[in-house]
């Protein structure tokens, strides 16, 4: 296996788990791959400088080498808060209403991709396999090719790919996808996002698409595009369950919920996660079944993210209001139905909370995959497993059909399925969980990285030209 060069917006070393949690599920996955293959993880340090220097800071931690650069304040504004998180993120999550199309965002995005290419270039050796991650860096492969890089370069998109009719609202959409077709392999979370991408290439670019072998051909270059559903680091996560921290967290939640069934939600505070809509569903449950208020305790853990962006500030305020309204209307001196917590926890503590909660409520409006759904299943007690209530619009729903699948926009559907989960027999809970755990255990993150890297290394010839 050749050395791996992973490139993503941010790098996250293993010991920074609290922070990694808030950054998303990428961190654990890539650390595992790098430990296995050796190599470097390159990205932005998270620091801002007055003038871009291109200086690279190399560090080694727990068997992983990281190389980072600082960016200018304008880069962070236009590339990170701007194009990546105010243009691409909302558009790719079908939120055209929140999408901002500012020219300087696009220019900042191109500039930073150029800076990434220039800075990472000296670190790439001829035999390395290069793996670029996510929507921040879609044109990076083409930038590297223009500097003569002939290595195998793959790209994985962690978020959905939108339908063509939405995607064409993006100015210069053709330029972006043409640049992507300089990768040898493009991976998506699900076949749904893959099909949207292939549809776009065929309809809008006039590319030749071989649907059987998933090859897109344009201007004499061939790119393979396939679905690789990401998973959790199953063995590592389950081992966390044996720690004192996990057992303490488990006891804390069991003891404090007493006779009530605990139901849990764990999400970055992001509008794609459907948190206000989830509160509407819970409110509807209490309105429809008022005698069940005493039976249910809902815990929502939601660490803030991307706080510099207006839409994220709004979602936080909205969620606080809705939680406050429900608690105001339904609390008693000895009972508060919702506990809303704005902080991160360690993986071990999350394991304990997941296991103590007999319902996992995962209701994003749109999500590339959603690792919380898989972590929840992995943490369950096989003799008394909880029930996963999962949005139909999460990529994970395609693999996890034995969950109770809901429409997150419908408070009635959410309320109805909470009631089904609350009253589900042990036999049915076990039967569903025994199916779900097979996917979660077998389609884990090690298999994901293996599959992607093996396919990338097996692409016939680099997409140079």
Kindly indicate which of the ranges 24-32, 143-151, 195-203, 398-406 contains the residues binding ligand ADQ, using the contact rule CB under 6 A.
Answer: 24-32
| Binding status of residue 157 toward ligand ADQ by CB under 6 A | no
DSSP state at residue 51: S
Using CB under 6 A, which of the segments 22-30, 67-75, 164-172, 176-184 binds ligand ADQ? 22-30
Q: Which of 233, 267, 280, 367 is catalytic?
A: 367
| 3-state SS assignment for residue 187 | strand
Q: How many residues form the binding site for ligand ADQ (CB under 6 A)?
A: 21
Active-site residue identified among 133, 136, 158, 182: 158
Rg of the Cα trace of the chain? 22
Q: How far is the CB of 340 from ligand ADQ (least distance, A)?
A: 12
DSSP strand E in 21-63: where? 39-49, 57-61
Q: Rule CB under 6 A: is residue 25 a binding residue for ligand ADQ?
A: yes
Count helices and strands in the chain by DSSP H and E runs: 18, 16
Structure tokens at 97: 């209403």
Estimate to the nearest angstrom the gap between the alpha carbon of 319 and the chain centroid. 21
By rule CB under 6 A, what string of x and - marks binding of each residue 373-402 to ligand ADQ? --x---------------------------
**Could you identify the residue written with the tokens 């063509």?**
164
Task: Please pick, from the candidates 70, 367, 413, 443, the single residue that binds ligand ADQ as defined by CB under 6 A.
Answer: 367
Say if CB 448 and CB 231 are below 8 A apart: yes
Would you say 399 and 439 are in contact if contact means Cβ atoms under 8 Å apart? yes
Is 211 among the catalytic positions?
Answer: no
Among 21, 154, 241, 283, interactor with ligand ADQ by CB under 6 A: 21
Shortest distance, position 352 Cβ to ligand ADQ, whole Å? 12
367 noted as active-site residue: yes
Stretch that binds ligand ADQ, among 18-26, 204-212, 377-385, 425-433 (CB under 6 A): 18-26
Name the strand (E) or helix (H) holding 114: helix 103-120
- Strands 359-362, 261-266: pairing is parallel
- Smallest gap from Cβ 220 to ligand ADQ, in A, equals 32
- Report if residue 296 touches ligand ADQ, rule: CB under 6 A: no
| CB nearer to ligand ADQ: pick between 268 and 330 | 268
Q: Is residue 262 within the footprint of ligand ADQ (CB under 6 A)?
A: no
Q: Rule CB under 6 A: say whether 370 interacts with ligand ADQ.
A: yes
- 268 touching ligand ADQ, by CB under 6 A: yes
Tell whether residue 344 is a contact of ligand ADQ (CB under 6 A): yes
Question: Judged by CB under 6 A, which of 84, 132, 159, 198 binds ligand ADQ?
Answer: 159
Q: Does 230 bind ligand ADQ (CB under 6 A)?
A: yes
Indicate whether 26 belongs to the interface with ligand ADQ (CB under 6 A): yes
Q: Where are the beta strands (DSSP E) in 151-290?
A: 152-156, 185-188, 208-210, 215-218, 221-227, 261-266
- Taking the least distance from each CB to ligand ADQ, the nearer of 312 and 345 is 345
Contacts of 77 (CB under 8 A, 6+ apart): 108
Nearer of residues 83 and 92 to ligand ADQ, judged by Cβ: 92
DSSP assignments along 275-343, one per residue: HHHHHHHHHHHHHH-GGGGGGEEEEEE--B--TTSHHHHHHHHHHHHHHHHHHHHH-BTTB-SEEEE-S
Residue whose Cβ sits closest to ligand ADQ:
21
Residue environment code for 15-32, b if the CB has 16+ CB neighbours within 10 A, otherwise e: eebeebbbbbbbbbbbbb
Site stretch for ligand ADQ (CB under 6 A), options 99-107, 116-124, 323-331, 344-352: 344-352
Residues in region 302-341 near ligand ADQ by CB under 6 A: 303
Determine if 141 is a binding residue for ligand ADQ (CB under 6 A). no
Task: Enumerate residues 6+ apart whose C-beta is below 8 A from 350.
Answer: 21, 249, 266, 301, 375, 379
By CB under 6 A, which span of 104-112, 251-259, 362-370, 426-434 interacts with ligand ADQ? 362-370
CA dist., res. 22 & res. 15, Å (int): 14
Q: Minimum CB separation from ligand ADQ for residue 161, in Å?
A: 12
**215-218 and 208-210 beta bridge pairing:** antiparallel
Cβ-based neighbours of 128, under 8 Å, separated by 6 or more: 2, 3, 4, 5, 39, 151
C-beta of 302: minimal distance to ligand ADQ in Å?
7
Q: Which of 158, 221, 284, 330 binds ligand ADQ (CB under 6 A)?
A: 158
**Can you read off the two tokens belonging to residue 360?**
């996992």
The catalytic site residues sit at 158, 367
Interface with ligand ADQ (CB under 6 A): 21, 24-26, 158-159, 230, 266, 268, 301, 303, 344-345, 350, 367-372, 375
């Amino acid at each position: 296996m050749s050395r791996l060069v992973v490139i993503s917006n941010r790098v996250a070393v293993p010991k920074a788990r609290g922070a990694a949690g808030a950054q998303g599920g990428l961190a654990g996955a890539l650390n595992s791959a790098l430990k296995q293959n050796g190599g470097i993880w390159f990205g932005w340090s998270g620091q801002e400088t007055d003038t871009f220097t291109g200086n690279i800071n190399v560090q080694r931690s727990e068997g992983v080498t990281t190389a980072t650069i600082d960016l200018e304040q304008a880069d962070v504004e236009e590339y990170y808060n701007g194009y990546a998180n105010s243009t691409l993120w909302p558009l790719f999550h079908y939120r055209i209403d929140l999408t901002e199309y500012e020219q300087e965002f696009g220019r900042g995005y191109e500039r930073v991709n150029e800076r990434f290419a220039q800075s990472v270039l000296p670190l790439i050796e001829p035999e390395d396999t290069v793996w670029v991650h996510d929507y921040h860096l879609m044109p990076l492969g083409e930038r590297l090719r223009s500097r003569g890089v002939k290595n195998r370069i793959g790209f994985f998109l962690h978020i959905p790919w939108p339908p063509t009719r939405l995607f064409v609202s993006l100015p210069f959409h053709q330029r972006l996808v043409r640049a992507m077709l300089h990768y040898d392999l493009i991976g998506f979370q699900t076949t749904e996002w893959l099909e949207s991408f292939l549809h776009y290439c065929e309809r809008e670019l006039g590319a030749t698409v071989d649907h059987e072998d998933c090859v897109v051909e344009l201007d004499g270059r061939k790119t393979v595009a396939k679905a690789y559903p990401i998973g959790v680091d199953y063995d590592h996560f389950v081992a966390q369950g044996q720690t004192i921290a996990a057992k303490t967290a488990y006891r804390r939640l069991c003891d404090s919920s007493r006779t009530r069934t605990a139901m849990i939600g764990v999400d970055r505070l992001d509008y794609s996660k459907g948190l206000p809509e989830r509160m509407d569903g819970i409110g509807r449950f209490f309105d429809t079944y008022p005698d069940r208020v005493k039976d249910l305790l809902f815990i929502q853990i939601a660490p803030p993210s991307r706080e510099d962006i207006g839409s994220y500030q709004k979602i936080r305020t909205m969620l606080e209001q809705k939680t406050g309204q429900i608690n105001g209307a339904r609390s008693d001196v000895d009972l508060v139905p919702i506990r809303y917590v704005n902080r991160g926890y360690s993986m071990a503590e999350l394991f304990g909370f997941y296991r103590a909660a007999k319902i996992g409520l995962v209701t994003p409006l749109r999500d590339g995959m959603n690792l919380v759904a898989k972590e929840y299943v992995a943490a369950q007690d096989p003799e008394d497993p909880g029930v996963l209530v999962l949005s139909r619009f999460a990529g994970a729903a395609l693999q996890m059909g034995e969950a109770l699948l809901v429409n997150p926009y419908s408070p009635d559907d959410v309320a109805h399925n909470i009631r089904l989960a609350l009253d589900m027999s042990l036999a049915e809970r076990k039967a569903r969980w025994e199916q779900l755990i097979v996917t979660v255990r077998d389609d884990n993150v090690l298999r994901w990285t293996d599959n992607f890297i093996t396919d990338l290394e097996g692409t016939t010839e680099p997409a140079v030209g």
